[in-house]
Structure 1
Amino acid sequence: MAKGLNRSKLAGCAALAFATLFAGAASADGTVNIYSYRQPDIIKPVLDAFTAETGVKTEVLFLDKGLEDRILAEGQNSPADVILTVDISRLTNAKAKGVTQALDDATVNANLPAEYRDPEGHWFGVTKRARVLYASKDRVKETAITYAELADPKWKGKICMRSGQHDYNLGLFSAAIAHWGPEKTEEWMKGLKANLARKPDGGDRPQAKAIFAGECDLALGNTYYVGLMRTNEKEPEEKEWGNAINVVFPTFENGGTHVNISGAALAKNAPNRDNAVKLIQFLSSHKAQQVYAAQTYEYPVEPGLEPSDVVKAFGTLNADTLSLDEIAKNRKAASEMVDRVGLDDGPSS
């Protein structure tokens, strides 16, 4: 009992100390406090543009995990105003844990299509990325491949991927369930497993490395990693990986490619709520989406707003218009399916 009590006291002290870090900023005029899963250098240009336009300063706390639990621990005294993150699962998790509040704002709603907004206003998509195929320039001549065709035996031993339990793949599988239903999706997943070149492992960039090394011909990956690899001056070997592949935009039967988002949410107890709303309004704007998307090699959410030249070079994206809220509802079923099929065990199991 004593140990449990000590742990509770320590956790409480840690939360209080953490909140104190932002105490000045939280009560100051002209400030907004951002808790972010996105790296500070990625979001700095768009936040600088926000400050230049509005005069509101930004304070950023970056965490690579536990953001929602941190806000919960801080409770009503949390200095968090806005949450920035990627992937629909993290946005819906923040909502489910009760660390967000609803925002019904005419400006934001007008700027962002409904499929990239929470129906109850708890999160908003700002940029989008597509779950595509990395295809060997030397060994894959096809320029159009559907998601369904990834189960075709013609690709046996030729596909690489990261863990099926990763959020990015779960998003794709959840979309497949929405389009095909669970039974067809499970049969498809069995075919995908049979076509794997090896046990799922690593991140998206290592899949491009495996194609470069001749270990596989196709891989599932997010579009923005291609931009990061092809422009990586610090690690030129990544440029070789990125330049060894073509981007193929696989589609469902409706002709759309699965997309996910980076997004923002209004924190439940935002002490600087007015400034937080200003930031979310700004992030939804034409100007901010251009800056943000260019920095991250992603696509603006605003219809008709073109991506950067680096991203344009990937090819034309026809994004699936399936609601991200609907995709999120299938996540648990998708995760259970991955385990049931044994996708992460590799092709020989």
Structure 2
Amino acid sequence: MFRPLFATVLLLISTATFAQTVTVYSYRQPFLIEPMLERFTEETGIQTQVVFAQTGLEERLKREGRLSPADLVLTTDISRLATLVEMGLSQPVESEVLTRNIPSQYRSPDNQWFALTLRARTVYTPKDRLGPVALSYEDLAKPEFAGKICMRSGKNAYNVALIASMIAHHGEAEAKTWLEGVKANLARKPQGNDRAQIKAVAEGVCDYAIGNSYYYGAMLKDPKQRPVAEQVVINFPNQGDRGAHINVSGAVVAKHAKNLEGAKALLEFLTQPEAQSVYAELNAEYPVNPAVAPSEMVASWGAFKADELPVYQLSVYHAAAMKLLDEVRFDL
């Protein structure tokens, strides 16, 4: 007769302990996330347990189903955020803190996902050969840019989002014409990552390269890569009209979160000034919270006008962007 009582006590202890732990699945690197999680625990007493991965978290969550221990999922790029929602792996969160800290264009209309950082899709030019330039994404398809452009695979998530923004602003037909023009102007077959594009500009392979702003910051902070990064200039396109294209990193609360309140508390914490400043300093990203300034290094690149297109629209046009890439055989 003592065994059921003993089991009940163990269950209560286990449940109380578990309720003080938030399990995080993360595509974001440990060096960036761990300092903020440590501070979160210091302030709230809530422990965190993190599963870091480079790929496969969506499939893991789907496979685990209701048995998944995940409470919060941290990821990069709007396409991954949208995929989590489309796969039924998220749940909505109502929070005055999140509404106050995150501008409306950087969270989903149904509160299924929330941006935590911003990154601009910029154009790099050689400091000595060209210096700073005023240009638009549309300019990159003009004949005078022939043989002068470098970029990674068109099907990389960051480029797909940029193409989706072109569809949102110009329609599918015009976006296709633009994409054909950019392909015709490439100095080489699409290859490498964003850092490789910066290196290509420094080495004279091309005069213009498309890349995310925070990669430039990461290279400047790396003693081995700084000499390369210092040979290029970062330019924010479309400053005369709609502004530079913006993508995000962000988070969702897992569909089967066991510690819903803890996950919500952590998500809110990540949008507060302290955590936003960590994002800004460690990874050269732009804070999503408009009350928080970028790091000194990032601020030195200058203020710029950002495209105010609601980021969720990039996921709306994702499939159309992929279709255009296939139609123009961009990577071939």
TM-score, normalized by length of structure 2? 0.93
1:74 CA displacement: 1.1
Give, in angstroms, the shift of residue 254 of structure 1.
Answer: 3.3
Q: 1:160 aligns with which of 145, 150, 154?
A: 150
Within 5 A, what are the aligned runs for 1:126-275? 126-233=116-223, 236=224, 238-251=225-238, 254-275=241-262
Instruction: Report the aligned-residue RMSD.
Output: 1.5
Distance 2:23 2:129 in 1: 49
CA contact (8 A) 1:26 1:33 kept: no
1:256-282 deviation line (CA, Å, top 9, x unaligned)? 110111101100111111110100111
How many residue pairs match? The answer is: 319
Q: Deviations over 1:56-98 (max 9, x none)?
A: 1111101111101101111111100000001000000011111
Match of 1:6 in 2: none
Identity of aligned residues (%): 43
Deviation at 1:134?
1.1
Asked if the contact 2:131–2:233 (Cα under 8 Å) also holds between the matched residues in 1, the reply is: no
- 1:83 is paired with a residue whose SS is strand
Deviations along 1:124-168, whole A, 9 cap, x unmatched? 001100000011111224521111111111111111000000000
Give the alignment partner of residue 301 of structure 2, picking from 314, 331, 335.
Answer: 314
Q: In the TM superposition, what is the alpha-carbon distance from 1:26 to its structure 2 partner?
A: 9.8
Q: C-alpha distance in 1, partners of 2:216/2:147?
A: 23
Contact 2:127 2:232 in 1 (8 A): yes
Instruction: For residue 28 of structure 1, report the CA deviation from its aligned partner.
Output: 1.9
Mapped contact 2:121–2:244 kept (Cα < 8 A): yes
Contact 2:273 2:291 in 1 (8 A): no
Give per-residue Cα distances to partners, 1:162-217, cap 9 Å, x unaligned.
Answer: 00000000000000110111111111111111110000001000111111111111
Point out where structure 1 has 5 or more consecutive residues left out of the alignment: 1-23
**What is the rounded CA distance, in whole Å, between the counterparts of 2:226 and 2:17 in structure 1?**
45
CA 1:27/1:94 → structure 2, altered by over 3 Å: closer, same or farther?
Answer: farther
Match of 1:302 in 2: 289
Contact 2:22 2:262 in 1 (8 A): yes
- Tell me how far apart the structure 1 counterparts of residues 16 and 294 of structure 2 sit (CA, whole Å): 35
Partner Cα separation in structure 2 for residue 272 and residue 46 of structure 1: 19
Where in structure 2 are there 5+ consecutive unaligned residues?
Answer: 1-13
CA contact (8 A) 2:101 2:290 kept: no
SS at match of 1:128: strand
**Superposed CA offset, 1:28-55 (max 9, x none):** 2421110001111121122222122212
Match of 1:21 in 2: none
Q: Give the corresponding residue for 2:310.
A: 323
Residues in 2 aligned to 1:247 and 1:255: alpha-carbon distance in whole angstroms: 18
Q: How far apart are the structure 1 equivalents of 2:61 and 2:176?
A: 37
Name the aligned partner's letter for residue 292 of structure 1.
Y
**2-structure distance, mates of 1:32, 1:214:** 48
> For residue 278 of structure 1, what is the aligned residue in structure 2?
265
Counterparts of 1:42 and 1:25 in 2: how far apart (Å)? 30
Classify 1:284/1:142 alpha carbon distance in 2 versus 1 (closer, same or farther; 3 Å): closer
Contact 2:242 2:308 in 1 (8 A): no
Q: TM-score, normalized by length of structure 1?
A: 0.88
* Separation of aligned partners in 2, 1:32 and 1:193: 46
Match of 2:81 among 85, 88, 91: 91
Structure 2 distance, partners of 1:173, 1:282, is: 33
How far apart in 2 are the matches of 1:97 and 1:75?
A: 11
Determine the C-alpha separation between the residues in 2 that align with 1:218 and 1:190. Answer: 17
1:98-119, CA deviations, whole angstroms, 9 ceiling, x for partnerless residues? 1111111121111111101111
Structure 2 match to 1:47:
37
Contact 1:129 1:222 in 2 (8 A): yes
